[in-house]
């Protein structure tokens, strides 16, 4: 090998990181653009020029990564699908729920106390989760992408995007399944017989309530954001439509566990073991 060939080879080896950097910067610019202006199923030369300027990338560098605007748009949609699962899981709500249960361990000793803990969790955490998740620009983009991608023509690009959406959905379901599988037995609940110890249908149903209301809120916000005074045990609490709907789905899937051992559950919570998803 000539010395010049060696250095040319080294240049080729170094080109990949440079291309990856260009790809990352343009995709980041694309994500910011979509989150600020909304989702479209096509992209113009003017928009690409704006993204390249924002990313400090030349048209030649863009062409080294993508052969067309449509190819870039496919990569962008896949990246949007991948990022949405972070916002949808809402880790802060999951962690806060565990902290709340730990603060009420003495209430776990009676069926009434356990139901009261559950009601308070659903009434407050669901409303917070609804507000946080459906206000997220990443979630709005994900919802728009999920409902509009079917308008794309059949082909490899559409298949790639659907695969990315499916992977994001399954990752979200797995995270929430782990959370509920840890939490609910700790407060004396189990899936109803016939559901084969499968939490995933409940996760999908509950998420559909939250996210469906998030979509409908755009057209009928007054209905979705209504509050109702409802009796709860010996008091009256304020419930949101999201929390009431979630409670209905929850009661359709779960029941009190007759074999629940409160001492074991309380010891588990007090031990401080890692029960987060």
pLDDT digits (tens, 9 = 90+) for 225-255: 999 998 877 788 899 999 999 999 999 999 9
DSSP for 179-208, please give it: HHHHHHHHTTEEEPTTSTT--HHHHHHHHH
Question: Which residue would you say has higher pLDDT here, 20 or 182?
Answer: 182
For residue 212, name the pLDDT band (cuts at 50, 70, 90): very high
User: Tokens 């990569």 label which residue?
Assistant: 75
Residue-wise pLDDT tens digits, 115-153: 999 999 999 888 888 888 888 777 888 888 888 887 778
Q: Residue 40, SS3?
A: coil
CB 181 within 8 A of CB 200: no
**Which residues face 227 on adjacent strands?**
240
What tokens appear for 130 in the block?
Answer: 């609804």
Backbone angles phi, psi at 124, to 5 degrees: -95, -45
- CA dihedral for 188, 127, 79, 22, sign (positive or negative): negative
Rounded Cα distance between 74 and 139, Å, is 18
Whole-Å CA distances, 85 to 18, 133, 176: 28, 10, 11
Contact 225, 217 (CB under 8 A): yes
Per residue in 28-86, pLDDT tens?
999 999 888 888 878 889 999 999 999 999 999 999 999 999 899 999 999 888 877 66
Q: What is the pTM of this model?
A: 0.79
Q: In this model, does residue 95 exceed pLDDT 70?
A: yes
Residue among 96, 119, 132 at smallest CA distance from 214: 132
């Amino acid at each position: 090998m000539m010395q010049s060939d060696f250095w040319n080879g080294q240049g080729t080896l170094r080109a990949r990181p440079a291309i990856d950097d260009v790809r990352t910067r343009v995709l980041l610019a694309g994500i910011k653009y979509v989150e600020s202006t909304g989702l479209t199923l096509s992209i113009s030369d003017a928009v690409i020029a704006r993204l390249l300027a924002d990313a400090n990338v030349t048209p030649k560098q863009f062409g080294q990564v993508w052969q067309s605007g449509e190819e870039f748009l496919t990569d962008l949609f896949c990246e949007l699908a991948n990022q949405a699962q972070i916002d949808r899981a809402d880790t802060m709500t999951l962690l806060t729920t565990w902290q709340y249960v730990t603060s009420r361990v003495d209430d776990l000793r009676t069926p009434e106390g356990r139901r009261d803990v559950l009601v308070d969790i659903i009434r407050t955490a669901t409303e917070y989760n609804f507000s946080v998740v459906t206000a997220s620009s990443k979630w709005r983009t994900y919802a728009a992408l999920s409902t509009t991608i079917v308008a794309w023509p059949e082909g490899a690009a559409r298949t790639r995007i659907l695969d990315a959406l499916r992977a994001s959905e399954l990752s979200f379901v797995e995270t929430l399944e782990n959370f509920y599988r840890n939490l609910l037995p700790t407060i004396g609940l189990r899936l109803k017989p016939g559901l084969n110890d499968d939490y995933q249908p409940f996760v999908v149903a509950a998420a559909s309530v939250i996210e469906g209301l998030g979509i409908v809120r755009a057209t009928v916000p007054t209905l979705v954001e209504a509050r109702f005074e409802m009796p709860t045990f010996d008091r009256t609490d304020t419930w949101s439509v999201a929390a009431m709907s979630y409670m209905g789905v929850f009661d359709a899937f779960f029941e009190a566990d007759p074999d629940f051992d409160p001492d074991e559950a309380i010891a588990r919570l007090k031990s401080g073991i890692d029960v987060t998803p």
